[in-house]
Amino acid sequence: MDAFKNWVARSGMGSVLILALVIMVVFPLTMDIFRLNLVGKYLSYAFVAVGLVMLWGYGGILSLGQGVFFGLGGYMMAMFLKLEASDPITTKIQSTPGIPDFMDWNQLTALPLWWEPFRHLPLALIAVVAVPMILAFIISFAMFKRRVGGVYFAIITQAVALILTVLIVGQQGYTGGVNGITDLRTMLGWDIRDDSAKYILYFANCVLLLAVILLCRWIQMSKLGTLLLAMRDKEDRVRFSGYDVAMFKVFVFVLAAGISAVGGAMFTLQVGFMSPSLVGIVPSIEMVILAAVGGRMSLVGAVYGALLVNAGKTYFSEAAPDLWLFLMAALFIGVVLVFPNGLAGLYESHVKPWLARRKAPKASTQAVEPPAAPLSSPSHKSAPSAPLPGGVQGQSA
Amino acid sequence: MSFDEIYNIALMQGFAGLSLFSVLLLMGLGLAIIFGQMGVINMAHGEFMTIGAYTIYLFSSLTETHAPGLMQLYFPFAILAAFAIAFIFGWLVEWALIRHLYKRPLDTLLATWGLSLGMQQVFRSTFGPKEVSPTLPDWLMGSWSPSEGLDIPINGLFVLVLTLLVTGGVLLALYKSRWGLRVRATVANRPMANATGINTRRTDRLTYAIGCGIAGVAGAAFTTIGSTGPTSGSLYIVDAFLVVTFGGAGSLLGTVASAFGIAQTQSIAEFFLTGSMAKVLTLLLIVTILMIRPQGLVASKIRR
């Protein structure tokens, strides 16, 4: 038992275990299926937030186009489900049975060739992850090899998000247009709309999310994670040490894209539709705020950030729609000016010292360092000063 | 189709391109100063344009109710007021927000995005969620036909002339005035500019405010073309950034060139394709060119 405790403390797994408990035990026990389904939707955004922690917190690369990858993943899942939902029998009233209804409305008479692979689930699942990663590779390889970074990269990714949205909305015969792909019913004959399916999908989502967090954690703790941090803080020094900085950046961007795409696919499965409103610039920037609120350096924090911001959005846009945008504005400005390390940073700087103080009297026989002093205050300046592996783990709350 | 008709179509098509050019350039100018010169990513740029647009709307409705006789005259004054209001607001925003973030460009982006959300909600609460359009003076309406079968809209001409005036003014100010000198010195080398006695903080604030003021003028000009809603600003923001980035940040002439190139590409593409596909094609072209040539059309000679 002690060995296990030590392992948990050393690897920073405690917070992951707590998260697993919260989302896989507490939520299902306390919420009805409607709410749990909503939480599942928020958790599908959490994939993007976790990807952004790797990309932005660790890699120092801000992408304003994560909605593109989330959307692509979601769309490709939706394409498979839509094809299954539009078999010739259910669509026999259409002038061309067997094609999705929106194609029929737009006078298409045959399924476009690039829809064909999405008849098969394995191909569709591969595409869900592979296509966004390939796109991410093309974008990032071209940019990072030419040492474009920071602001310019953000603007280009934003342009990509705009292109994809305009394309989806403009080509409604092929993509479903503004409405997106709706009316999804079954996956391989399994009805995804009934309650038991929603439970199963929720748990599948949780397991996938935790797996992704563990993967990212593993990357962070490896040499690669240290290199990413080093690159973020002093790119030139890493380059002069002989590392190919561009390829590391490409790697982390492609990784974040793949993670976001998985989230998109889980979104489609749980919510039952996909639309361009989840692809564009506004959702992409909102996804950044999820990571920022949770703490841009904390994988687990990003999940809490996603839950909190989206729950707030759902609550306030019903209760006080006027207030929500002001709150969102305050959140953006506050997270930048007041608490740049987000919830995780607040935990590190306020809750942890407090817990330590409470513990201190009990363990007074041991020499305990004054707890508050060595911990960094949540100011941005302190973030780059903690690139050492010790600092990394300190941020993992 | 006779030769004359083709000629007229070509002329009008050319003018449509010029019109789009003036719109893009006017959008990009304020940003070229704020983003190009200062390196501040002002995601609230579109909302500063909306401030200008609502100023015109306010002026037109006030004139209409209190002094209907002055309807032909209010527009130029309203444009000046649009500049002034956006300028003052920009000054305040720089003081409250931007000055804390000069060293963290990516965080500025998030903070100004938050600002833009807040401003949108203020617009919505003040002017309502519906789009509004001011009552324009008669001399801005209709079209000018120098010959048979050739119609050139006057509002397009107006925006074009205004754009040329503002661009000329900015170029003059940047290269001939003391302020311009201070801005260029600060951009080129901040510590050195400081050492020569330039108050770089004051310069920053003034520069940011002027950029916002120009955005206000742009928004004011756009009321002659389309209506204004609380979220109209967000429609411009990506285009504005692309114009500045594509031109090469730091170069005003680059911004002019890129606005011209983008506008002509898009209006020619629109002639052959649907509007949305023309937009996609243009954006793809810009992104591809920026991937190959990240420094934009005109590379600045500043060592960074």
Does the distance separating the beta carbons of B118 and A330 come in below 8 Å?
Answer: yes
**Which of A332, A335, A337 should be substituted to probe chain B, the one whose Cβ sees the most B Cβ atoms within 10 Å?**
A332
Average pLDDT, chain B: 87
Specify if B4 maps to a domain.
Answer: no
Q: Which of A52, A55, A163, A178 is most worth mutating to test chain B (most B CB atoms within 10 A of its CB)? A: A163
pLDDT at A112 over 50: yes
Instruction: Test B41 with A166 for CB contact under 8 angstroms.
Output: no
CB of B106 within 8 Å of a chain A CB? The answer is yes
3-state SS class at A149: coil
Residue of B nearest to A147 (CA): B294
User: Collapsing DSSP states into helix, strand and coil, what is residue A370?
Assistant: coil
Residue A314, Cβ density class (10 Å: 0-12 exposed, 13-18 middle, ≥19 buried): middle
Whether B11 maps to a domain, the answer reads no
State how far the alpha carbon of B71 is from the alpha carbons of A67, A349, B77, B137, B189, in Å.
47, 61, 11, 6, 48
Domain that holds residue B162: 16-138+156-292
Q: What is the pLDDT of residues A121-145, one digit of tens each?
A: 999 999 999 999 999 999 999 888 8
CA angle A237/A242/A247 to nearest 5° reads 95
Q: How far is CA A216 from CA A58, A109, A284, B139, in A?
A: 11, 45, 21, 63
User: Side-chain half-sphere of A28: how many Cα atoms within 13 Å?
Assistant: 16
Residue B5 forms part of a structural domain = no
Confidence grade of residue A304 (pLDDT, cut at 50, 70, 90): very high
As given in the structure block, the two tokens for residue A255 are: 């990784």
> What was the pLDDT predicted at B102?
85
Residue B77 lies in a domain: yes
Is residue A360 over pLDDT 80?
Answer: no
Q: How far is A262 from chain B (nearest CA, A)?
A: 25
pLDDT digits (tens, 9 = 90+) for B122-132: 999 999 888 88
Q: Which residue of B has its CA nearest to A292?
A: B110
CA closest to B239 among chain A residues: A159
Lowest-pLDDT range, A303-307, B136-140, B212-216?
A: B136-140
Please indicate, yes or no, if residue B297 is contained in any of the structural domains. no
Window from A225-239, A318-332, B222-236, B288-302 with minimum mean pLDDT: B288-302
Q: What pTM did the predictor assign?
A: 0.87
Q: pLDDT confidence of B107, banded at 50, 70, 90?
A: confident
Confidence of residue A10 (pLDDT cuts 50, 70, 90): low
**Percentage of chain B lying above the pLDDT 70 cut:** 98
**pLDDT value of residue B1:** 62
Find the CB nearest A292 among B110, B125, B292: B110
Q: How far is CA B295 from CA A145, A153, B266, B301, in A?
A: 14, 12, 22, 11
The model's confidence at residue A363, banded by pLDDT at 50, 70 and 90, is: low
Does position A369 have pLDDT exceeding 60, yes or no?
no
DSSP per-residue letters across B243-279: HHHHH-TT-HHHHHHHHHHHHHHHHHHHHHS-HHHHH
In a domain, B206, yes or no: yes
Name the burial class of residue B177, with classes exposed (0-12), middle (13-18) and buried (19+) by CB atoms within 10 angstroms of its CB.
exposed
The pLDDT of residue A388 is 37
pLDDT band at A364 (very low <50, low <70, confident <90, very high): low
How far is residue B158's CA from residue A380's CA, in Å, rounded to a whole number? 47
- pLDDT recorded at residue B300: 63
In the numeric block, which tokens belong to residue A146? 């030419």
Per-residue pLDDT reduced to its tens digit, A53-106: 999 999 889 999 999 999 999 999 999 999 988 888 888 888 888 888 888 888
Contact B234 A282 (CB under 8 A): yes
pLDDT digits (tens, 9 = 90+) for A339-354: 888 888 888 888 888 8
From A4-8, A108-112, A170-174, B66-70, the region with the lowest mean pLDDT: A4-8
Question: Structure tokens of B51?
Answer: 């401030």
pLDDT value at A259 more than 90: yes
Q: pLDDT category, B53, cuts 50, 70, 90?
A: very high
Does the distance separating the beta carbons of A159 and B283 come in below 8 Å?
yes
Is the ipTM higher than 0.90? The answer is no
CB distance A151–B106 less than 8 Å?
A: yes
User: Cβ of A158 and B238 within 8 Å?
Assistant: yes
Average pLDDT, chain A: 85
Nearest CA to CA, how far is B173 from chain A (Å)?
27
B88 in A contact zone (CB under 8 Å) = no
For chain B, what is the domain count?
Answer: 1
Average pLDDT in the B173-178 region? 90
Mean pLDDT (whole number) for B175-186:
89
Name, of A236-250, A382-396, B224-238, the range with top average pLDDT: A236-250
Q: Do B294 and A146 touch (CB under 8 A)?
A: yes
The residue written with tokens 């500063």 in the block is B48
**A&B contacts, CB < 8 Å:** 118
Of A147, A281, A326, the CB nearest to B238: A281
Whether B299 is in a domain gets the answer no
- Dist. CA A210–CA A377, nearest whole Å: 29
**Assigned domain for B91 exists:** yes
Pick from B111, B164, B134: which is nearest to B52 by CA?
Answer: B134
- Tell if the CB–CB gap between A166 and B290 is shorter than 8 Å: no
> Which of B35, B97, B107 to substitute to test the interface with A, most A CBs within 10 Å?
B107
DSSP symbol at B144: E
Residue type, A267: F
Put simply, the answer to whether B41 touches A162 (Cβ < 8 Å) is no
Nearest Cα residue in chain B from A291: B110
Average pLDDT over residues B268-275: 84
